[in-house]
Structure 1
């Protein structure tokens, strides 16, 4: 597996250390030392990068703003946010603007490598499943409940035949996982395993952040289909229809 990574990091010692570990994996990286440079580099080479590691605390433009601008350019490029901040609010904020994972400094380089591999594997599986040659006719859906239709090949979600827009890969996979088994309660650990993979080392609150953003997008078409089961996790249930 060969990857080209955009490393957004203003600490030269961290960038040098990670560059050595990336080289051992056969990966290459470009380094941006501030937020403005990061966005410019991504715009110029948008099709070249397989993944972005993004420091939250950056000169000129912070990691939150960079993540927003990157997501506006590409809804699918994987982003792993790195930061010395360790508060739950900061982590949820980072995940909420489009980051796929969150790593607090100081971190283990080997753990970061493992997360990158797991995230990239997941993206490759999704790309293969959504290849145009595998697409079904528009009348066919993998999930077809009372109000919701989901096509995994097209990465498409409809609620009462209205398209749910701007769903990220992780949000789609969360909804798809739960919608396949309506009213079954999934723990956060089960959703982490199903959506992020066995090798995912993240916190369970990652699920909460993605569920929150997914709900916001579903609510725009009137869908109230994800319910919180307090003390356990979440379930999909669209039998009650709209809010």
Structure 2
């Protein structure tokens, strides 16, 4: 069971909460949130993932959240601990391969053109780099 805690910046902020984000990582002209151009599009409002114009079968909750987090913060290196806290909502004990297992499943589902875009940064964690994707 995953318990989602409110973010502290949302709790203590004087500002209204930000609208739900759409993480788009499409490439090519006319690309943007919800674009059907070649590339990877993660729509967090409808919880869909589109790869090269083809919608993937719905991802399990945590796989989707992990992919959306990485794609929503491109080129940023995330440690395993940061990912556990951001996606799972609990601290990483360092005793399991949970993050690595979920990353491997996501890569398999993205296919050969986009799996390379989720890069492993040795001894640190993972990052999403859209420049590494091989778009057909």
TM range (shorter): 0.5 to 0.7
Describe the superposition over 1:20-58 as per-residue Cα deviations: whole angstroms up to 9, x where unpaired: xxxxxxxxxxxxxxxxxxxxxxxxxxxxxxxxxxxxxxx
Q: In the alignment, what sits opposite 1:231?
A: 123
Q: Which has the higher helix share?
A: 1
Higher normalized contact order (CA 8 Å, seq sep 6+, divided by chain length): 2
Within 2, Cα distance between the matches of 1:199 and 1:234? 17
Q: In the alignment, what sits opposite 1:144?
A: 24
Q: In the alignment, what sits opposite 1:198?
A: 90
Residue 188 of structure 1 contacts residue 204 of structure 1 at CA under 8 Å; is this kept in 2?
Answer: no
Residue 166 of structure 1 contacts residue 217 of structure 1 at CA under 8 Å; is this kept in 2?
Answer: no
Matches within 5 A, 1:17-28: none
- Structure 1 gap segments, 5+ residues each: 1-115, 123-140
Of 209, 222, 234, the match for 2:101: 209
Larger radius of gyration: 1
Matches within 5 A, 1:164-203: 164-198=56-90, 203=95
Within 1, Cα distance between the matches of 2:54 and 2:67? 16
Within 2, Cα distance between the matches of 1:200 and 1:188? 7
Residue 40 of structure 2 contacts residue 49 of structure 2 at CA under 8 Å; is this kept in 1?
Answer: yes
Alignment length, in residue pairs?
A: 106
RMSD: 2.2
